[in-house]
Amino acid sequence: MFATYALVSYGIQGFLIVATQGVLTPSGPEDSSSDGFLLRHLVAYARRNLDEDVTMNDTYTRKMDEDYMRHALQLAAQGRGRTAPNPMVGAVIVNNGRIIGKGYHERCGEAHAEVNAFRNATEDVEGACMYVTLEPCSHEGRTPPCADRIIAEKISRVVIGATDPNPLVSGTGIARLRSAGIDVVTGVLADESTLLNEVFMKYILEKEPFVTLKLAMSLDGKIATSTGESQWISCEASRYRVHELRDMSTGILVGVGTVLADDPQLTCRIPGGANPVRIVADSALRTPEDARILHTLDETPTIIATTQRADARKVDRIRERGAQVIVFDDPDGRVPLKALMRQLGSQGIDSILAEGGSTLAASLLAEECVDKVHWFIAPMLIGGEDAKTPLGGRGIERLADAVRLTRMTTDSVGEDILLTGYIERG
């Protein structure tokens, strides 16, 4: 009867605790009394459910960390296209299950996410937990070390998304926090944080820009008609998406063929959007001196990459207009794209959207410059043996040499389909 009494007196939660602590025990497996029978089953139930409860609490703690980190990632994404060459970072400060401060890195040279979170805190942060998408910096740059600020603010726990690959930081921020007695948890939504900063992750290690190749074609694989007409294959929604990509990129790259055929401005036409640096691969410097990319230098810079084949007097005239001309001494008389990437990286250009035609696209892939591909497919059929396809050049002779993509995703953009993938590296 004692088991029944305990169940009634303590309630189910109280009974579970008392039972599993050994306060209630049956006299043995041979105890066949109704009380012993009930007690054995209730104790088994108690242990099973308390084990589940512990698991639920552990899961909840992990889920809570992931939920707050996800919020920090959403904050970080608000800095997209504005923090280069710095990473996008978000931070959230939590105390007793409440968000009391949050912030993100808004622009290169300005306060980091952690500092903005402290500035926006609604109460004292001592003893609180901070969620930050990337390891806090520990070196003196344009701003003081964030790790020192976290220590000074007496944060008790720091949850970090991804480790910073920057050799000036990598692991040292975490070590500094731990040496100060702060509980540090790492790797929470690390993949998401790394993906968010895919540009930074490459640039900080290789000092070359992250290159995204954008292509648009008809359903039967044509980028223009047999007469060369190409405007417009993709729908209006897709073209708007491309301008969003321009807004997120530091530079935009085309071949001289695009300049000659379309005389584009290569600017971002989203209200409030940022114009990328315009880059033209032009081995013989055929870019017209009255091209729009040379008449709108007050809007955004233009860089023309050429070779020793260029007319030296034309090089001087274009430079006098305010454009940068990079002359490569290439034995084949072609712009060496890999070398161009290194040059652009040294100038702080960390991301490039490549929008050129089939020749440039094929060359970028051949020289292993491309990291990511956005491939728009329009629901139309063009046909024609002479109509151009997305990739020019000689192509490959063996399927074993094909460029393969991984992590493919599919999206609907207006009437079009957008395929996105990453170049598979050997």
Which residues are marked as active site?
A: 114
CA dist 38 and 23 (Å) reads 15
CA 164, 169, 173, 175 torsion-angle sign: positive
C-alpha angle with apex 33: 31 to 36, nearest 5 degrees?
Answer: 65
3-state DSSP call for residue 95?
strand
Report whether the peptide linkage leading into residue 375 is cis, meaning its omega lies within 30 degrees of zero: no
Residue 355, helix vs strand vs coil:
coil
By CB atoms closer than 10 A (0-12, 13-18, 19+), residue 225 is middle
Round to whole Å and give the CA distance between 175 and 162. Answer: 14
Burial 243-276 (b: 16+ CB within 10 A, else e): eebbbbbbbbbbbbbbbeeeeebbbbeeeeebbb
The single-letter DSSP state of residue 146 is H
What's the token pair of residue 386?
Answer: 């002479």
Residue 378, φ and ψ in degrees, nearest 5:
-95, 145
Q: Which residues contact 178 (CB under 8 A, 6 or more apart)?
A: 184
**92, 72 Cβ separation under 8 angstroms:** yes
Closest CA to 260 of 284, 226, 234, 242: 284
Two tokens, residue 283: 């081995």
Q: What are phi and psi of 89, to 5 degrees?
A: -140, 140
Q: How far apart are CA 38 and CA 45, in angstroms?
A: 11
